[in-house]
Amino acid sequence: MSAPTLERPAPDEAALQEHFDATIAAEHRIEPRDWMPEGYRKTLVRQIAQHAHSEIIGMQPEGDWLLAAPSLRRKAILLAKVQDEAGHGLYLYSAAETLGADRADLTDKLIEGRQKYSSIFNYPTLTYADVGVIGWFVDGAAICNQVPLCRSSYGPYARAMIRVCKEESFHQRQGYELLMTMMRGTDEQRAMVQDAVDRWWWPSLMMFGPPDDDSPNSAQSMAWGIKRHSNDELRQRYVDMSVPQAEVLGVTLPDPELTYDEASGHYRFGAIDWSEFKRVISGEGPMNAVRIARRRAARDDNAWVREAATAYARKHAS
């Protein structure tokens, strides 16, 4: 986009910073062509890019079951959900591009391992119950993280989050309904659900990130209004929401230390194995190599389609 030529003196940096700070303090949104501090822009590019990458890579664990869905109904639901994840990724790349990032370049950085995506997608989906548990746990945790982001100080990011959150609710509900259906089935099906719950519960708690005392950048992100709640706050909120849902479903969350604390009104939970988290995000999870290899293949094997469309457009341009 190009601005109209307006003759006016360039404001000095201090005045720009002051105006930016005042906009944040007044809870107004920062919009793409506003002046913003370099750190704010970089933090947003990094955060939105990793979020977009997570949505795109997040298609794979569930996509693995598209051809093995147990009924046409489940297949249609799963297709719609996986398509939504692609959409979420694109809304987010679109938001990142308003900050001067470039989608193709971000994709390259993901494939080269220079930018990350959520550790949760480096676990395999072993049975169809995993599809349900991903909807319930993973999308549930994502909703917990994303609802406050609808009020993020950066306008395009907040607006993308509003769209995402509207669609995410279907994701969580279809997962829970799938699990309820299995729990009404055979003993074997109930065992499958419990097994999936056992495998996904702890990685889902890790989705909220390291504990607050080990999250040095959170304070700046909160001051900028990019992030609204601390990691531990959101994790606690998620646990409090999930326990009664597990009770209704009739599954046991795999944490012997999970107890209700009358005084605080919160559920207390056991220690999270952060060494596993660090291992998985550094590339040593069970599925890291597969996820990236597939994304690379999608980029490279389909390059000819993009090139052909470009050639066609050039030929037909008037």
Interface positions, 101-160, toward another protein (CB under 8 A): 101-106, 108-109, 114-121, 138, 141-142, 145-146, 149, 156, 159-160
Q: Is position 164 an interface residue for another protein (rule: CB under 8 A)?
A: yes
Stretch that binds another protein, among 24-32, 70-78, 184-192, 250-258 (CB under 8 A): 24-32
CB of 21 to another protein, least distance (A): 13
**Window 71-100: residues binding another protein (CB under 8 A):** 80, 83-84, 87, 90-92, 94-95, 97-98, 100
**Window 171-200: residues binding another protein (CB under 8 A):** none
Exposed / middle / buried, residue 225 (Cβ in 10 Å: 0-12, 13-18, 19+): buried
CB of 240 to another protein, least distance (A): 17
User: What backbone torsions phi and psi does residue 267 show, to the nearest 5 degrees?
Assistant: -85, 130
For β-strands 266-268 and 259-261, DSSP reports them as: antiparallel
Residue 175: closest CA among 242, 86, 91: 242
Q: Which is nearer to another protein, 55 or 255 (CB)?
A: 55
Among 24, 36, 40, 51, binds another protein (CB under 8 A): 51
CB of 87 to another protein, least distance (A): 6
CB of 312 to another protein, least distance (A): 7
Given a contact cutoff of 8 angstroms between Cβ atoms, the answer to whether 148 and 228 are in contact is: yes
Q: Which is nearer to another protein, 77 or 92 (CB)?
A: 92
Among 13, 18, 21, 42, binds another protein (CB under 8 A): 42
Query: By three-state DSSP, how is residue 285 classified?
Result: coil
CA distance 122 to 287: 5
Hey, what are 315's tokens?
Answer: 């030929």
**Window 276-315: residues binding another protein (CB under 8 A):** 277-278, 281-282, 306, 309-310, 312-313
Q: Which is nearer to another protein, 3 or 14 (CB)?
A: 3
Q: Is position 207 an interface residue for another protein (rule: CB under 8 A)?
A: yes
Long-range contacts of 298-303 (CB under 8 A, 24+ apart): 299/107, 299/111
Q: Could you tell me which residues come within 8 angstroms of residue 267 by beta carbon, excluding any fewer than 6 positions away?
A: 236, 239, 240, 243, 258, 259, 260, 261
∠ Cα 282 54 268 (to 5°): 75
CB of 73 to another protein, least distance (A): 18
Residue 133: closest CA among 197, 70, 185: 197
Residue 30: HSE in the Cβ half-sphere, 13 Å Cα cutoff: 26
Q: In degrees to the nearest 10, what's the CA dihedral of 202, 147, 165, 292?
A: -40
Among 13, 18, 31, 284, binds another protein (CB under 8 A): 31
Stretch that binds another protein, among 44-52, 123-131, 177-185, 248-256 (CB under 8 A): 44-52
**Window 210-269: residues binding another protein (CB under 8 A):** 210, 214-218, 221, 227, 231, 234
